[in-house]
A and B are shown apart, each in its own frame.
Chain A
Amino acid sequence: MASAPATPAPAAVAVPTASPATLLRLVVIVAAVGALEIACRVGWVPMTIVLPPSVMAESLWQLLLSGSHTRDIVVSFSNVAAAASLAVVLGFLIGAILHTLPPVRGAVEPLLASYYAVPTFMFYPVFIILFGVGSGAIIAIAVLLAIVAMITATLNGIDRIPLVLGKTARMMRMGPIERALKISLPAALPYLFTGVKLSVAYAFIGVIASEFILSGAGIGHAIAYAYNNFDNRTMYGLMLLIVLAVTVINAVLDTIDRRLQARLRR
């Protein structure tokens, strides 16, 4: 009966545990960190320029324990969360609306495509005038940086919904709302999620970078402050915090992304 054999798709659903590439990557990272540690300890790199990774880690641990930068950390992460959420929601809405208006889309799409050629940060004075120094301006710049990735991903995602699924929805006599929720959204989800992933990454870049110039609080501000005061321990501790946070968040998003993409293999 099962005449047409199911093609085995080992990597399609189960996420592989530890491939040789993963192990090798780990070795490279450990070796690089180890080399930096040795270079600093032996004195090839002066401590006034770079601290050994172990000292960075210890400094991070201390400032987490002491709570000296808890406010900065909370401010930055709330700003990233706010900017990413706004970019995802607004980007999705703008993308979905643009998709229903092909002439407007045709006019706007080339602009979207060249958007990232513009160094968005140069507009920071405008944002200070509009929002003042603080979270408002920072979130605005981060949203501006992230939103176009979400718009593009939304347009792409809706484009890629197979026409036959639309026909199927009509055969099932679905209304527009049920069709959008039960067919279009899940069909486009893997592509939309690519937009979510990029939005989070851009929101991080936008928030941390803006905090250097546009803020009196936040991790970016604290790093700049520590740098100006020759406080290497704090500076490197906070840098390590950001690297770790971004790595963990990206790894989580990547896992979800891979699961969603696996379903698309046809």
Chain B
Amino acid sequence: MSPALASVAAPVPAEHHARLTGVTRVFGARKGTGVHALGPVDLDLNRGEFFSVVGPSGCGKSTLLDVLAGLSSPTAGTAEFEGKPINGVPAGVGVVFQEDASFPWLSVEDNVAFGLRRSGVDAAEVARRVDYAIGFMGLKDFSKAYPAQLSGGMRQRVCIARTLVMQPRLILLDEPFGALDQQTRLLMGDELLRLWRETGATVLLITHALDEAAMLSDRVGVMSARPGLFIDVLETGWPRDRDSRIVSHPRFGELTAHLWDKLRAESLKHLRGS
């Protein structure tokens, strides 16, 4: 194995954009027999990095994302975004969920404009930003269409555009391509990389696809079976202007193999019903 594949810390002291310290989440703790879903987990997300989290099913990946999004508060430990403790949904954080979250009663255009309109941005600015986001996600020909007329991949683009248009500084993605076919996933991965480069946002991607994590990320965090802990953080060393063509790079295979090496035992634990 090449030295670059060894787990390493961030090479240069980078600015911490979001930070989890000793975060633990126990569900149903009040009833005494709680389910220990996550942690204690420490995580530092550097400003502008692309970080992926992989782990076996039920390891608390989505719980981790919920804590960062302010959708659930940790049972123990602290969560910070831009130096402030996360208490409720922080401004500047956008989420794309695995499930289709487009609003079926609104056209693509109105879906994308929804958040901007209610935050009191003036009409001309809304139009400009919506136009840009729609164009960026390749939805120009479908701006008047309704979600029911679009494929799953296109609807997920609508959701990404709706998040993008709010100009989030931290974008959290919870298995956003989980319901899509493999080819569409690769191409959506390219879109995501392009969006990440262009916006300069910090991206945290939750995924169960090791190849997706290996191809897209600067760093990949590998989680154990429940209660989820980081058992490894892998630095990929890809250049910033990468795209899906790196799957033919020998290093891609090495990275994916390394991830699987770390995860195999954990996934077996899940399979045997720990």
Pair B148/A167 contact, Cβ less than 8 Å = no
B184: A residues at CB distance < 8 A: 3-4
A177: B residues at CB distance < 8 A: none
Contact flags B111-151 to A (C-beta < 8 A → 1, else 0): 00011001000000000000000000010011001111111
Pair B153/A4 contact, Cβ less than 8 Å = yes
Asked whether A171 and B69 contact (CB < 8 A) given A5-B151, A164-B101, A263-B105, the answer is yes
Contact flags B87-111 to A (C-beta < 8 A → 1, else 0): 0110001110101110111000000
Tell me, yes or no, whether B26 is within 8 Å of chain A by CB.
Answer: no
A2: B residues at CB distance < 8 A: 138, 141
CB contact between A173 and one of B89, B104, B147 (< 8 Å): that residue: B89
Tell me, yes or no, whether B265 is within 8 Å of chain A by CB.
Answer: no
Q: Complex Cα distance A5/B147, Å?
A: 13
- Min distance, Cβ B162 to any Cβ of chain A, angstroms: 9
Pair B149/A171 contact, Cβ less than 8 Å = no
CB contact between B71 and one of A171, A186, A265 (< 8 Å): that residue: A171
Interface segment, A6-14, A79-87, A136-144?
A: A6-14
CB contact between B145 and one of A1, A6, A164, A171 (< 8 Å): that residue: A6
| Interface magnitude class on chain A | 20 to 34
Interface residues of A in 14-53 (CB under 8 A from B): none
CB contact between A12 and one of B105, B118, B149, B153 (< 8 Å): that residue: B149
A13: B residues at CB distance < 8 A: 146, 148-149
CB contact between B88 and one of A173, A186, A262 (< 8 Å): that residue: A173
- Min distance, Cβ B188 to any Cβ of chain A, angstroms: 8
Asked whether A266 and B100 contact (CB < 8 A) given A4-B151, A4-B154, A171-B71, the answer is yes
Determine the residue in chain B with the shortest Cβ distance to A6: B150
Pair A167/B100 contact, Cβ less than 8 Å = no
A186: B residues at CB distance < 8 A: 103, 105
- Min distance, Cβ B129 to any Cβ of chain A, angstroms: 16
Q: Complex Cα distance A266/B149, Å?
A: 8
Q: Which of A3, A7, A187 has the most chain B CB within a 10 Å cutoff?
A: A3
Nearest 7 pairs between A and B by C-beta? A4-B153, A1-B138, A164-B99, A186-B105, A263-B104, A3-B187, A164-B101
Pick 19 A–B contacts, CB within 8 A, sort by A. A3-B187, A4-B152, A5-B151, A6-B150, A7-B151, A164-B101, A165-B103, A167-B101, A168-B97, A170-B71, A171-B89, A171-B93, A172-B114, A172-B115, A174-B118, A178-B118, A262-B148, A263-B146, A266-B155
Given contacts A2-B138, A172-B114, A182-B118, 9 further A-B contacts (CB under 8 A): A3-B184, A3-B187, A12-B146, A13-B148, A168-B101, A173-B88, A173-B89, A263-B146, A266-B148
